[in-house]
Amino acid sequence: MKSSRKKQKNKSKKASGIQELELEELKAIIQKSGKSALAESERNKLDAAMNTLAFITQELQAKDASILRLRKFIFGSATEKTKNVFPKEPAKATDGELAEIKANDGSSDTTLATKDETKKIAKGHGRNSVETYRQAEKIKVSHRTLKAKDDCPDCDKGKLYRQSKPAVLVRIVGVAPLSAKVYELERFRCNLCGKILTAETPAGIGSTKYDESASTMIALLKYGCGLPFHRLNRLQKDLGIPLPASTQWEIVEKAADLITPAHKELIRQAAQGEVIHNDDTVMKILNLASTLALEDSKGRQGIYSSGIVSIAEGRRIAVFFTGNQHAGENLEDLLKQRQEDLPLPIQMCDALSHNTKGEFETIVANCIAHARRKFVDIKVAFPDETLHVLEVFKEVYHNDAFARENNLTAEERLNFHQEKSEPAMAGLAVWMAKKIDERLVEPNSILGEAIRYVQKHWSKLTLFLREAGAPLDNNICDRALKKAILHRKNALFYKTKNGARVGDLFMSLIHTVEL
């Protein structure tokens, strides 16, 4: 193991032109360079020293970026806004301000809060308003002693008039996710013929043990909130209403068969979208994984959950597909149901080839957020360059928010971006070209790789400047895939392809309703 690592290390050094030199020997060569011409062997050693310095610098930069990505992976990142990536430091106090502070309160602090810190927007109290309790039971309570047009009990002169808005109190009680009622039907038995006579079932309670609302609640908890069957089983058992995991599966599987036509209609309507987002994430299906493992080792063995969000006339539809097909192949199957007379849809995705793999035609746009993140990841090594790029993207997103808030049409939004955002993006293109062409950035460095990524996909990243309705990023699809990721995080896997089918169906319906 150690020998292989040593060989790999030596190979890396050789590829980078690195040589092991004595420090004293290097100092002697540098001193000699100012007095006389260097021999060829001495020049080679000096070149090797410079290559070594460049290699070490590049490795340190990559290490800082890798540590930053690892920290994000473990602890997560709440947001990548510019103000959070580059937080502003408190402004330094001037001599006059410092003297005034000392005179007023005797403090010796040398900093003052910035204007942004002193004028923070007051945050909400965190409570939900009464309007958010849409499904709460509303009970009207009349005053026990007063009614409209009575004399005022305080002044004895005025008349009372009913207020249009009543005072409200909210009281929340804890109940099991699935409650149960036990109906005890009275029975009589004839002492002569032995016949049993039972009371009639109350009207409206149905003929099945599990109501339709039970299947809805189980599916919502499992595929909408990521609560595995065994955890719900434990909760229900502790609350005195047992519901085994196997029973839960039987309930949702039966419900899935009933609402499959609705899922098919969602797919048909999604195929007609004007803008279609797609992406995928890895998933595990136990039975399918074992089947793929027995096949040819050169065949595809990966399993994925693809998310597709289609937007048509302002309506958003989310559909999910889980199996061994990539996002592009699932999009190909979906677009087979597209009407032939419709124009080509705009497809928003990241630059991975899996997202466009398949026999279909779309106008492809790439996600700016993915390009932006490549610079966020290297901000420790290249803070000035990263800040410059983030400020450009910040301006573009600000313009897009303005267009959205003012309800601009697709054509108006395009014209607005061409007027406001195109100069900023053109300036970014010139800045990147200068960095690469004039060798101001090492092409193989992490900054060079980030710049080359943007340059390579520039046309698709800037489609919003040429095509009406083209979005900036694929964030809406990334958020949709969190449904599948939440299931993977909590339940770990699907057992069968049928289980994945049921999960896709309910996730599609649940997330479409949320959208």
Identity (one letter) of the amino acid at 136? Answer: A
Q: For the chain, how big is the Rg over CA atoms in Å?
A: 33
Residue 185 confidence (pLDDT) above 80? yes
The neighbour count for residue 65, using CB atoms within 10 Å, is: 22
List the one residue out of 373, 372, 366 whose CA is nearest residue 463.
Answer: 366
In the chain, the percentage of residues whose pLDDT exceeds 70 is 77
Q: What is the dihedral of CA 265, 270, 274, 276, to 10 degrees?
A: 180
pLDDT value, residue 486 = 93
Helix (H) and strand (E) counts for the chain? Answer: 19, 7
Distance CA 450, CA 371 (A): 8
Task: Please provide the DSSP assignment of 399-427 as one string.
Answer: HHHHHHHTT--HHHHHHHHHHHTHHHHHH
pLDDT value, residue 341 = 92
Confidence of residue 159 (pLDDT cuts 50, 70, 90): confident
Instruction: Tell me the per-residue pLDDT of 252-279, one tens digit each, with 9 for 90 and over.
Output: 999 999 999 999 999 999 999 999 999 9
Which has more pLDDT, 290 or 12? 290
Confidence of residue 109 (pLDDT cuts 50, 70, 90): very low
What is the DSSP code (8-state) at residue 86?
S
- What's the N-to-C CA distance of the chain in angstroms? 52
Residue 505 confidence (pLDDT) above 80? yes
Residue 184 confidence (pLDDT) above 60? yes
In the chain, the percentage of residues whose pLDDT exceeds 90 is 48
Instruction: Tell me the per-residue pLDDT of 418-468, one tens digit each, with 9 for 90 and over.
Output: 999 999 999 999 999 999 998 888 888 888 999 999 999 999 999 999 999
Computed over every residue of the chain, the mean pLDDT equals 83
Structure tokens at 500: 């994945």
Structure tokens at 48: 């090797």
Pure H helices in 348-445: 368-376, 383-405, 410-420, 422-437
Q: What is the dihedral of CA 447, 449, 455, 458, to 10 degrees?
A: -100
User: Pairing between strand 196-198 and 346-349?
Assistant: unpaired
pLDDT value, residue 76 = 58
Across 84-98, 166-180, 282-296, 424-438, least confident range: 84-98
Residues in the chain: 515
pLDDT value, residue 5 = 44
Confidence of residue 155 (pLDDT cuts 50, 70, 90): confident
pLDDT value, residue 143 = 86
What is the DSSP code (8-state) at residue 355?
G
Which residues lie closer than 8 Å to 408 by C-beta, 6 or more apart? 416
Distance CA 433, CA 440 (A): 10
Which residues lie closer than 8 Å to 426 by C-beta, 6 or more apart? none
Whether 32 and 42 have beta carbons less than 8 Å apart is answered as yes
Which has more pLDDT, 312 or 69? 312
Which residues lie closer than 8 Å to 302 by C-beta, 6 or more apart? 282, 324
Which has more pLDDT, 9 or 29? 29
Angle of the 245-270 helix axis to the 497-514 helix axis, nearest 10: 60
Identity (one letter) of the amino acid at 370? Answer: H
pLDDT value, residue 169 = 87
Residue 124 confidence (pLDDT) above 70? no
User: Pairing between strand 363-366 and 346-349?
Assistant: parallel
pLDDT value, residue 421 = 94
Using a cut of 0.85, tell me whether the model's pTM lies above it.
no
Residue 127 confidence (pLDDT) above 70? yes
Confidence of residue 129 (pLDDT cuts 50, 70, 90): confident
Instruction: Tell me the per-residue pLDDT of 357-405, one tens digit each, with 9 for 90 and over.
Output: 889 999 999 999 999 999 988 888 888 898 999 999 999 999 999 999 9
Which has more pLDDT, 146 or 11? 146
pLDDT value, residue 67 = 61
pLDDT value, residue 488 = 93
Whether 390 and 82 have beta carbons less than 8 Å apart is answered as yes
- 3-class state of residue 114 by DSSP: coil
Which has more pLDDT, 230 or 444? 230
Across 75-79, 146-150, 467-471, 506-510, least confident range: 75-79
Residue 103 confidence (pLDDT) above 60? no
Confidence of residue 288 (pLDDT cuts 50, 70, 90): confident
- Estimate to the nearest angstrom the gap between the alpha carbon of 7 and the chain centroid: 41
User: Pairing between strand 304-312 and 187-189?
Assistant: unpaired
Distance CA 255, CA 216 (A): 8
The neighbour count for residue 196, using CB atoms within 10 Å, is: 8
Structure tokens at 444: 């193989």
Which has more pLDDT, 148 or 261? 261
9-16, long-range: CB < 8 A, 24+ apart: 13/55, 16/51, 16/52, 16/54, 16/55
Instruction: Tell me the per-residue pLDDT of 23-70, one tens digit each, with 9 for 90 and over.
Output: 666 666 666 666 667 777 777 777 777 677 666 666 665 665 566 665
Distance CA 366, CA 432 (A): 18
Distance CA 235, CA 499 (A): 22
- Estimate to the nearest angstrom the gap between the alpha carbon of 508 and the chain centroid: 16
